[in-house]
Structures are given as C-alpha cells and as structure tokens.
Chain A
Amino acid sequence: MNPANYVYLSALLFTIGATGVLLRRNAIVVFMSIELMLNATNLAFVAFSRIHGTVDGQIAAFFVMVVAAAEVVVGLSIIVMIFRTRRSASVDDANLLKY
C-alpha cells in the first residue's frame, strides 16, 4: 500500500479536527477535536518515518503522545472546574478574558 495514502488520511483527519475546534461549542467536543488533530500529526510523523526509512518521526510521535497525555489531564480538569462553576461546558460562555 502506498504510504502517501496515510499522509492523505492524516491531512483529512487534521482538517476534521481543525474544523471541529473552530465550529463546535462544547468544550469536550473541542477537546476531542484537538486530540484528533494531534493524532493526525502523529499519523503523519509515522507515515513520513516509514517513507524516509528513519525512526525520527516515530520518536517524535511518542513525544507528542506524552505531551498529549499531560495536556488531557490539565485540559480536562480545567473543563471540569468551569463546568462546576458555570453549569455549562460551552466554550463561548467562558469569555471573561477580553477587552
């Protein structure tokens, strides 16, 4: 199977994730979209690693996973705190930090 297809899939997944981040209001869904984008990049890393025949991309993918795991912990706890205080998980409700 042509490894370039994985790169196409990765681009598709990234686009879906980015669209989700931009269009969805629910913080959990936005979060999931971000995860989707991260995994799309992971897929791209691995695909390029395969194409070039080196392991650099795979190492980078591991780093991304570690960071994503840490990010999930911080992000989810923030969302939980917002939900507790505002009874809503909509990202548009949390808009105090503005002009």
Chain B
Amino acid sequence: MEPVIAATGAVQVSGWLMIALPLFGATVLLLGGRRTDRWGHWLGVGAALASFVCAVVVFVTMLGWPAEGRARSVHLFDWIQAGSLNVQASLLLDQLSISFALLITGVGSLIHIYSVGYMSHDPHRRRFFSYLNLFLAAMLLLVLADNFLVLYVGWEGVGLASYLLIGFWHYKPTAAAAAKKAFVVNRVGDFGLAIAIFLMFKTFGAIDFATVFGSADAAGRGTLTAIGLLLLLGACGKSAQVPLQSWLLDAMEGPTPVSALIHAATMVTAGVYLIVRANPIFNLSADARTAVLAVGAVTLLFGAIIGCAKDDIKKALAASTMSQIGLMVLAAGLGAAGYALAIMYLLTHGFFKAGLFLGAGSVMHGMNDEVDMRRYGGLARVMPITAITFGLGYLAIIGVPPLSGFYTKDPIIEAAFNAGGTRGWIVGGAALLASGITTFYMSRVMFMTFFGERRWAADAHPHESPRSMTGPMVLLAIGSIGAGAFLALGDRFVNWLAPVVGEQPEVEHVLAPATVITMTLAVVAAGLVLAWLQYGRQPIPRTAPVASLATYAARRDLYGDAFNEAAFMRPGQYLTRSLVYLDNRGVDGLVNGLAALIGGSSGRLRRLQTGFVRTYALSMFGGAALVVVAFLLVRL
C-alpha cells in the first residue's frame, strides 16, 4: 500500500481542529468551574458546531479530488519511538473516517443544542457539556486515527466519557451502578482490542493501518483469525453485542441526550467501525467473518426480543439499538458485500435512532421524567411536533418506503440472503424475522406512547418541549426521511466507500431484489398488525400484566445479567473468598505463627535476666569453667 498523501492547507488545519475544538471546550469548561456556568453550554454548542464546520470543509474539499486519491494524512507529532516500535500521532482523513466525522459532529451538534433545553433545569449543565465535548473529541480521535494505538486512545476516551455521562446523576445509586457496569463490561472488550494490537505488533512489527493492512496477506491465517476474533471481542464490548451486551440497557440511566448521542448514534457504532476499518484482516479470514456474522445475527434477535417486553421507553429503544447494531455487525460479517451497507445503515440509523431518543427525551421532559410507557398514552394531541418527528423516525426504522430505513436496511437483508447456501438462508431469515419483530416493538412503543387512552399520573401535565429541543428533532426527522434515499440511490454511498472497503463483488442473486422487498414489507405489515391487535385495539393495563414465560424472560433481558452473575460474578466471588481465606489462614497464619513462636520463646528467654548480681556471677563462673574444661579437653 503506498503511503497516504500528507494533507495541506485547509484540510490539514480542519483535520486537527476538528478534534482540538471540542477538546478545548471540554478543558475550558472543566477547569473554568462555576465561572463558566452562565455561558458554558453555549461554548459547548459552539465547539461542536465549529467541529462540524471543519468536517464539512474536509468533506467538500475531498469531493473535489479523484475517487482513488481522496485519503489524506495529518501528522500531529511523533508519539512513541522505542526500539522497533514507532508510533506517530497522526490522523487519516478518508471516505470512511470523514463519513463518521460528519455523523458524529452533525448529530452531535444537534444533540448539544437539544441538551441546552433538556438540561436547562439541571444545576450541573456546564459539567454535562464539558463531558459531551470530551466525548466528541474522543470519538473523533477514534475514527480519525491512522494507527491502532491512537484509535485505542479514542476508544478509551469514549469509554470514559460514556462512564461519566451514564453516571452523570451519580447521586442515584442505579445510575452510579450502571456507569460502573458499563465501564467494567467495556473493559472486557478493551482487553480484546489491546491484545489484538499486541498481536499485530508482534506479527507485522507495526500498528499503523497502512503497514498492518498492507502486509496482512503475508501473515498466517491462524494469526489473522486470532486478530479478527480479538477485534470482534473489542467490538462486542463497545457495541453491546452478545455476549457483552448487558451494559447497554442499564446505560439508559444517563440523561436522554447521552442515550441519543453515545448509546444510539455514535459510540456504540464504534465496534462496527472497527470491523469495517479492519476489513483487510476480515477479508482474509473466513472464520473471523463467520464469528462476526454469528454475533451479529444472535444480537439482532436478542435485542429485538428484549425490545418487545420493555415498558421503559428508553430501554425499549436501547434494545432496539442493540438489535440494529447487530444488523450492522451482521452486514459487516458478510465481507466485501456488506461493509459499505453496514456503514450506510449505521449513518441513517444514527439519524433516526437519535431522533427517536430525542423524542423519548421530549416526552419524558413533558411527563415529569416518567419513563414507563404504561403511564403514557394519547400524547399525540398534546405534543404534536414530538409525535410527528418520533413517528417519522419510527417509520424510518421499520423500513417503510421511501424513508431512510427502507433504502438502507433492505440491501442488508438482500445481501444476507445472497451470502449463499445454508448460511445465507439462516442470516437472511434472521434479518427478515428481526425486521418483523422490530416493527412489532416499535409499533408497540408508538401505540403505547402517542395513541390510546390517557393513562397519565395524576400530577402529569404534558406539554410540547421548547424550540431548542424540537428544532434538532425536526432536523433529525428530515435526515430520517431523506438520508436513506440520498445515500442509497444509484449506489452513491457504496461507490464513495469503495476505495476504502473494496468494490462490492458481483453475486448471484439467490432471491430477486423485488422478492426480498416484498417479503420484508409483508413481514413489516405482519408485525404492525400484530402490534395493533395487541396494543392499538385493546386497552393497555397500567401495570405490567402476568405474561408468558418468554415475555417474562425478555423483561429480565433474557437473563443476560443472571447468566453473568452465575457464570462470572459468583465463581469470582468464591475465588476471591477462598483466596482471602487462604491468605488469612495460610499465609498470615504462617507469618503470624512464626512471629508468635519467636515472641513467645524470647519472652521465656528474657526471664534469664533476673537482675540479681549473683546469678550473673554464677553464669560467668560457669562460662569460665567451661572454657577451662574446653582448654583441658583440647590439650588432651
């Protein structure tokens, strides 16, 4: 792979400013303390918007270059020079990273603006914005990095920001626990990523993308599979994929803008980014691709099933996020046919899922922070803008044409079927089924929240949210409508990403595209009808009714936490307890016993020191006599 051209002029400056501006904002707000309380949130919004402008400048300039030569590198400084390890802190601006940067800064800016209104009653709004800015900087560093170590810094940075923001209301024990849980579960994934980087350094002697991907072909297939699986472990942690899915639902304890930005639109998609970025490795290892495919398919259904039973609006949306990211991972696992589709769905998902979360936040804002959908109902009348924008997001996510979900989800289902053989039928069937379940649970959210009778609490006075909140929702709704068609028609986005992830191979169609679309729409319609029968037509009980075992399991997150507790937490506890016992009784016992022995015997020995002169005199005589006897013996 030939070295990437160094960026010059506006692109270079925009490249590093994009990260530096939010970082600057975060620093000022964190160090400035209460002095910045009055205008701090506007500084945060400004930093996010300025960063967005930088991304746009880079993007527009990039459009003017020929497709094969759009990648540019921005060298910041020499970071680590140790022996054969040579790490540059530098950025890579290419089609993939700039797509992410636009999503992160664009949706990020909208959510910053939304947060001004949403957090207006919170005394710590400034701290909130500093964390949001910190998140933006870290996330941009993650996607713009041109080697795995810088990527890792961003990876940890978003984990930190996520931890701080989930636990933003840390006086609530549930929020503090959720933050810890997210951090700990993420560590497991980070561990995988770290080992993958070590393995790359051992195999290739370098950790920058160009060298690793350029020489991937020369490495052994076993090594590549190991690297791929470890990268997948990292992706599972960050993207809440089975088996590291358990933290995402609890992460909804954080403020809703955080759920929208970090736990729906951007950070949780970092795993998909990692897999797509490392496409040369996955291209060479079919086993690693299969593992990715399996994780994606399982999570897709796992999240969808949980989503059907959750009464907490944010948790229902979080389960949906988990499921949709599963679909992206599944697409990435399809290999060259799916990378671009995964990213395309990721971008549109960023729009409509962020819009859905902001809508949920708007509902909560109007309902005294009530999250139980069984206490909602009939809100469409009192919150029309929220209902319409949420409804557009809803239509987009279930894939109704011509909204964005239709254009970006159907190609994935089609590509899944085209994977060929049994595998194609399994993953295609899973994607198709999940699309029906998605429709069911999203319709359930819709019916329970905005339609039906009003089941409000006595003191609830729902009202439409202020314009700073509805504005971003409207813009995101426009994105939910148009982004899909804009990206998908004429294979625009696929061609745009082709230089990074490779051309889509020509495949034999197992099912005609029209058949897949018809099947998907039929499944979607079935899900809608089922949801209407159960939640639209019948009155909804105000407390969760006794339900089937499956529903009960889904309410308990399909026993994900119970499994973790039984498989890891309890054995770990037994291990630590037995180690403590061993330490107390064994190690301490030995040391303490020795000390007691010496102490006790010396306590006896010191009784020899009586203080009586004649005793000492006697011992001296005895000693002298012994010496004399010894002399006599030796002489004999």
Contacts and interface: CB of A to CB of B under 8 A. Distances in A.
Please indicate whether A and B come from the same complex rather than being unrelated chains.
yes
A21 interface: yes
B35 interface: no
Contacts of B610: 95, 98-99
Interface stretch (B118-126, B548-556, B614-622): B614-622
B612 A97 contact: no
B611 A96 contact: yes
Contacts of A92: 612-614
A98 B609 contact: yes
Given A18-B621, A22-B621, A97 B614 contact: no
A38 B146 CA distance: 96
Contacts of A95: 610-613
Contact of A99 (B606, B613, B614): B606
B391 to A, nearest CB: 91
Contacts of A9: none
Interface residues of A, number: 13
A15 to B, nearest CB: 11
Contacts of B618: 22
Given A18-B621, A22-B621, A91 B609 contact: no
Contacts of A94: 611, 613
Count class of interface residues, chain B: 10 to 19
Given A21-B614, A22-B614, A99-B609, 15 more contacts: A18-B621, A22-B617, A22-B618, A22-B621, A23-B614, A91-B613, A91-B614, A95-B612, A95-B613, A97-B611, A98-B609, A98-B610, A98-B611, A99-B607, A99-B611
A61 B205 CA distance: 89
B238 to A, nearest CB: 68
Interface string A76-99: 000000000000000110111111
Interface of B: 606-607, 609-614, 617-618, 621
Interface centre among B613, B618, B621 (most CB of A within 10 A): B613
A67 B610 CA distance: 28
Contacts of A18: 621
B599 to A, nearest CB: 14
B618 to A, nearest CB: 6
B625 to A, nearest CB: 10
B578 to A, nearest CB: 43
Contacts of A91: 612-614
Interface in A21-71: 21-23, 30
A18 B609 CA distance: 21
A94 to B, nearest CB: 7
Contacts of B617: 21-22
A98 B614 CA distance: 13
Nearest to A27: B613
A18 B614 CA distance: 10
A18 B613 CA distance: 13
A2 to B, nearest CB: 23
A23 B621 CA distance: 13
A95 to B, nearest CB: 3
A30 B612 CA distance: 13
A92 B253 CA distance: 81
B514 to A, nearest CB: 103
A21 B618 CA distance: 9
23 contacts: A18-B621, A21-B614, A21-B617, A22-B614, A22-B617, A23-B614, A30-B613, A91-B612, A91-B613, A91-B614, A92-B612, A92-B614, A95-B610, A95-B611, A95-B612, A95-B613, A96-B611, A97-B611, A98-B609, A98-B610, A98-B611, A99-B606, A99-B610
A17 to B, nearest CB: 11
A92 B610 CA distance: 10
Contacts of A30: 613
A97 B614 CA distance: 13
A21 B617 CA distance: 8
B1 to A, nearest CB: 82
B22 to A, nearest CB: 73
A72 to B, nearest CB: 17
Nearest to A98: B611
Contacts of B611: 94-99
A33 B621 CA distance: 14
Nearest to B614: A22
A96 B611 CA distance: 6
Question: What 8 pairs across the A-B complex have the smallest Cβ distances?
Answer: A98-B611, A95-B611, A99-B606, A91-B613, A99-B609, A98-B609, A21-B617, A97-B611
Nearest to B607: A99
Contacts of B614: 21-23, 91-92
A97 B609 CA distance: 8
